[in-house]
Structure 1
């Protein structure tokens, strides 16, 4: 049997803040998930985003510590329907107090692209294809 990709895992220092961020990006978590040690949201295509509290990770990995630089080691990417949506989602998140790492720009590979950080410093890329040149 060949393993298949199924889950992206994040460790949250503040579960409520992390869920608020990803809910703004359209992910659905159960009511009351803010008080849980582990939550999951189904992603398109059947994979899942799993989020655990730091305490949960330490419950089975006593030596685990968050990265010393304060930043995450994971990046997620959310596709938008149009370049203007990249801009509006970026502005919504930055306006809500999240860190804008890279303002929207037209990337040389043909996409409108931006990067924000979730509450734990994980990079979240926003992208949409640019219109084809005429």
Structure 2
């Protein structure tokens, strides 16, 4: 039997900052009543996205956990309906003070694409297929 990917866990330094960022993308995280350093969000496609603070995650690892260094190693990609929606969400996120990693552009693979960083430096891609010519 092949394993089923159904959960992605993002480690964050401040859970409320992360929740506020992802709320701007339309995600509705619920903080766990028993564990305030853990939150989850069910996505429409059956995937569950979790946020865990560094403190919480470090406490669940036998050998401890430490923050990685360098560029983002993982990117979440959010699809939008059209190029204007990509541009608008990019403007909203960067206007709220989040770091732009890649200004919106028409990528050679046929998509409008932009990248912002969440409060912990994780990459978040915003994209849509470009209209066929």
Q: Output the TM-score relative to the length of structure 1.
A: 0.91
Q: Output the TM-score relative to the length of structure 2.
A: 0.92
Residue 60 (structure 2) aligns with? 60
CA RMSD of aligned residues (A): 1.7
Please state if 1:127 is matched with 2:124. no
- The whole-number CA distance in structure 1 between the counterparts of 2:31 and 2:11 is 19
Per the alignment, in what secondary structure is the counterpart of residue 88 of structure 2? helix
Long gaps (5+) in structure 1: none
- The whole-number CA distance in structure 1 between the counterparts of 2:24 and 2:38 is 19
Per the alignment, in what secondary structure is the counterpart of residue 84 of structure 2? helix
Q: Contact between 2:31 and 2:40, CA under 8 Å: does it hold in 1? A: no
Please state if 1:89 is matched with 2:128. no
- The whole-number CA distance in structure 1 between the counterparts of 2:110 and 2:73 is 26
Structure 1 outlier segments of 4+, above 3 Å: none
Residue 11 (structure 1) aligns with? 11
Long gaps (5+) in structure 2: none
Q: Contact between 1:10 and 1:74, CA under 8 Å: does it hold in 2? A: no
Change (3 A) 1:5 1:107: same
Looking at secondary structure, tell me which structure has more helix per residue.
Answer: 1
Could you tell me how far 1:30 is from its partner in structure 2?
2.5
User: How many residues matched?
Assistant: 131
